[in-house]
């Protein structure tokens, strides 16, 4: 993640805890910030290895959108088995492969519902929409779906809850993480799911989901990053 997109209240802790800590425990090697992907792969080759590049979040990987396209089909199967339907699906939009996969999977099933991505990067709605469509078109093509059948009208991108920087913990996100933990016993993270839940709760309070009966919130994990936010108590 580019350094100018990241904001943390305690840089020293942020650089050692959370995912950095987990990666170290698992034996992963972390290269210096600013190292290009090409240089990192060349380092592996120089040691006799065969590098396989997976871009950050796997979003820009050729197969990046397939997982959640299948997940959306599994959701549809669950709905059939249980006699109900979700009127809306709300997910985080970061690298955008999650939302792109959901859009394609929903299109494959032919289900009419609101698909909402809550953006967590300090980018414009247009930029995030373009990224989502690029990945969705690539995913659709792999699944035999005409690319032109997937459009920006198939989903909504909401950029109001990114707190102005990747990883920044603002009051709305803090409230959402604490509220869900204390009422439901479910842990969200300040970077992704916490911001997404903040957006969902705010939209409900504002009446923006009026008439929507069943909402499915996609929890994509991220709890490992909680240790990087000791101020979140």
pLDDT digits (tens, 9 = 90+) for 43-79: 999 999 999 998 877 888 889 999 999 999 999 999 9
Q: Is residue 102 part of a domain?
A: yes
Do 141 and 185 fall within a single domain? yes
Tell me what the mean pLDDT of segment 121-139 comes to. Answer: 96
Number of domains observed in the structure of the chain: 2
Whole-prediction pTM: 0.87
Q: Is residue 97 part of a domain?
A: yes
The domain that holds 120 is classified in CATH as 3.40.50.1100
Q: Is residue 5 part of a domain?
A: no
What span, in angstroms and rounded, lies between the C-alpha atoms of 128 and 190? 20
Do 46 and 72 fall within a single domain? no
CA distance from start to end of the chain: 26
Do 101 and 20 fall within a single domain? no
Do 30 and 111 fall within a single domain? no
Q: Dihedrals φ, ψ of 114, to 5°?
A: -80, 130
Opening angle at CA 128, ends 116 and 148, nearest 5: 80
Do 119 and 43 fall within a single domain? no
Tell me what the mean pLDDT of segment 26-45 comes to. Answer: 90
What span, in angstroms and rounded, lies between the C-alpha atoms of 125 and 230? 31
Mapped onto helix, strand or coil, the DSSP state of residue 30 is coil
Q: Is residue 153 part of a domain?
A: yes
DSSP symbol at 6: B
Question: What's the length of the chain?
Answer: 233
Do 100 and 214 fall within a single domain? yes
Each residue's pLDDT tens digit, 168-202 = 999 999 999 999 999 999 999 999 999 999 999 99
Q: Is residue 87 part of a domain?
A: yes
Q: Supply the pLDDT for residue 205.
A: 96
Q: Which pair of structure tokens corresponds to residue 72?
A: 């959306």
Q: Exposed/middle/buried for 38, CB within 10 Å: 0-12, 13-18, 19+?
A: exposed
Question: Residue 20 is part of which domain span?
Answer: 10-53
Do 77 and 23 fall within a single domain? no
Do 185 and 210 fall within a single domain? yes
Question: What is the per-residue burial (b if ≥16 Cβ within 10 Å, else e) of 45-77?
Answer: eeeeeeeeeeeeeebbbeebbbebbebbbebbe
Do 99 and 136 fall within a single domain? yes
- For strand 156-158 and strand 88-93, is the pairing parallel, antiparallel, or unpaired? unpaired
Do 31 and 102 fall within a single domain? no
Tell me what the mean pLDDT of segment 33-48 comes to. Answer: 92
Q: Supply the pLDDT for residue 11.
A: 63
Do 137 and 218 fall within a single domain? yes
Do 38 and 104 fall within a single domain? no
The rounded mean pLDDT for the chain is 91
């Amino acid at each position: 993640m580019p350094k100018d997109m990241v904001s943390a209240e305690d840089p020293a802790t942020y650089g050692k805890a959370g995912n950095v800590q987990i990666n170290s425990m698992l034996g992963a090697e972390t290269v210096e910030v600013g190292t290009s992907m090409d240089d990192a792969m060349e380092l592996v080759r120089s040691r006799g290895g065969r590098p396989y590049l997976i871009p950050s979040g796997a979003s820009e990987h050729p197969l990046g959108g397939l997982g959640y396209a299948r997940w959306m089909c599994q959701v549809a199967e669950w709905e059939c088995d249980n006699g109900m339907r979700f009127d809306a699906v709300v997910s985080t939009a970061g690298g955008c492969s999650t939302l792109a996969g959901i859009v394609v999977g929903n299109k494959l099933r032919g289900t009419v519902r609101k698909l909402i991505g809550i953006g967590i990067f300090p980018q414009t709605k247009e930029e995030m929409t373009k990224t989502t469509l690029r990945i969705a078109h690539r995913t659709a093509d792999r699944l035999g779906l005409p690319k032109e059948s997937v459009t920006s009208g198939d989903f909504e991108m909401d950029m109001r809850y990114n707190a102005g920087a990747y990883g920044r913990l603002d009051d709305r996100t803090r409230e959402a993480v604490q509220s869900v933990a204390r009422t439901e016993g479910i842990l969200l993270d300040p970077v992704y799911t916490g911001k997404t839940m903040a957006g969902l709760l705010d939209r409900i309070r504002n009446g923006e989901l009026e008439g929507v009966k069943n909402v499915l919130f996609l929890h994509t994990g991220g709890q490992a990053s909680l240790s990087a936010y000791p101020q979140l108590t």
